[in-house]
């Protein structure tokens, strides 16, 4: 399986996350990728290539142009305003504030574009996010050229990023950018299957009113888990997209037997949809010892569901999402890929 990756992910090395009322080192950190690379190398997956640079146009096919410009300039503007720490939102346009335009001052503008304040913006954030999008786009190109599968080892992740919103460690929606590139490259229908523990709210928002991209997310119930305000089973799409969003919210302590039952239902829907290609938002934070999640998958379970994904027989792009810096992130990620390869 072709693997696409760049060391430019290291440029995203934020020092600050708000968690449990404390400022702590971020769970989303460069070490995550080191665990995955080490396991890939240990198992002989050495076909790793640098991404091509496709520029901003495919990013703007998914994201609002003003939002992209904000991400590019936020850190410089934050510093110019005299703030000493990393850029963290402190105010948002809430339900009782009808004025929905981005303020001039960076302290207000970051809140306008922010989903959640756990995610700071620091030096190198834009450069790493841009590089991650190119990793995803390179994977999409390989699929368009006839590859059975490819793995875009993206960091930072992307599935919480909406058209004009960042948060949940995500800035640009790598999976959505790849899916749109597949559509633009000739795929009539694309399915995006999100297996991250957290709901792919950004991907859902991007494709919610479209019938050419089927989005399915299997995640912790938003009554109990971030991002809290999206991901219910009653969210099924709008307009032309009605019926083309499918959510599977699952409870705390969910075992693999329950999880895989939902997965099989989703695979049946993908097969019925008639997709030309499949994008997997590959979060492995469903693992039983992940520090910020509550599902109970074991390492062997990742191999099993990788094989189940392969049985669809679709050209498949894996795009890395969550799974936090426990050593098993590498084992579990490569288990999915190897399970797919053997399936």
Task: Please state the φ and ψ torsions of residue 5, each to the nearest 5 degrees.
Answer: -160, 155
Which residue spans within the chain are E strands per DSSP? 2-4, 17-19, 22-24, 48-49, 149-152, 190-194, 213-220, 245-250, 277-282, 316-320
Confirm if 16 and 26 have CB atoms less than 8 A apart.
Answer: yes
Kind of pairing, strands 245-250 and 213-220?
Answer: parallel
Which SS3 state, helix, strand or coil, does residue 247 take?
strand
Q: What tokens does 334 get?
A: 């490569």
160 labelled catalytic: yes
Tokens 């792919």 locate to 200
Identified catalytic residue from 160, 198, 199, 219: 160
| Calpha distance 108→97 (Å, rounded) | 13
Confirm if 324 and 285 have CB atoms less than 8 A apart.
Answer: yes
**Which are the catalytic amino acids?**
160
């Amino acid at each position: 399986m072709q693997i696409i990756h760049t060391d430019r992910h290291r440029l995203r090395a934020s020092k600050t996350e708000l968690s449990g009322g404390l400022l702590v080192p971020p769970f989303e950190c460069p070490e995550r990728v080191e665990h995955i690379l080490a396991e890939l190398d240990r198992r002989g997956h050495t076909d790793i290539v640098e991404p091509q640079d496709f520029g901003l146009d495919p990013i703007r096919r998914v994201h609002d142009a003003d939002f992209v410009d904000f991400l590019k300039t936020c850190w410089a503007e934050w510093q110019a305003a005299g703030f000493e720490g990393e850029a963290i939102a402190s105010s948002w346009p809430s339900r009782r504030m009808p004025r929905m335009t981005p303020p001039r001052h960076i302290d207000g503008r970051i809140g306008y574009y922010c989903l959640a304040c756990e995610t700071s913006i620091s030096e190198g954030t834009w450069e790493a996010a841009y590089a991650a999008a190119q990793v995803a786009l390179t994977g999409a190109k390989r699929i368009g050229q006839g590859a059975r599968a490819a793995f875009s080892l993206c960091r930072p992740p992307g599935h919480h990023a909406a058209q004009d919103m960042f948060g949940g460690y995500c800035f640009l929606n790598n999976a959505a950018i790849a899916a749109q590139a597949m559509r633009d490259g000739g795929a009539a229908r694309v399915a995006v299957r999100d297996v991250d523990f957290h709901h792919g709210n950004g991907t859902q928002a991007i494709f919610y009113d479209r019938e050419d991209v089927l989005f399915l997310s299997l995640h912790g119930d938003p009554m109990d888990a971030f991002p809290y305000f999206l991901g219910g089973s009653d969210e099924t799409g709008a307009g032309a997209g009605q019926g083309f969003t499918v959510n599977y919210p699952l409870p705390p302590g969910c075992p693999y037997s329950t999880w895989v039952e939902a997965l099989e239902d989703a695979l049946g829907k993908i097969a019925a949809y008639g997709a030309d290609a499949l994008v997997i938002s590959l979060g492995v934070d469903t693992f039983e010892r992940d520090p910020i999640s509550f599902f109970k998958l074991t390492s062997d379970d990742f191999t099993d569901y990788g094989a189940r994904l392969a049985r669809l027989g679709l050209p498949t792009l894996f795009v890395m999402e969550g799974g936090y810096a426990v050593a098993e992130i590498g084992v579990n990620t490569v288990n999915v890929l190897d399970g797919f390869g053997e399936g």
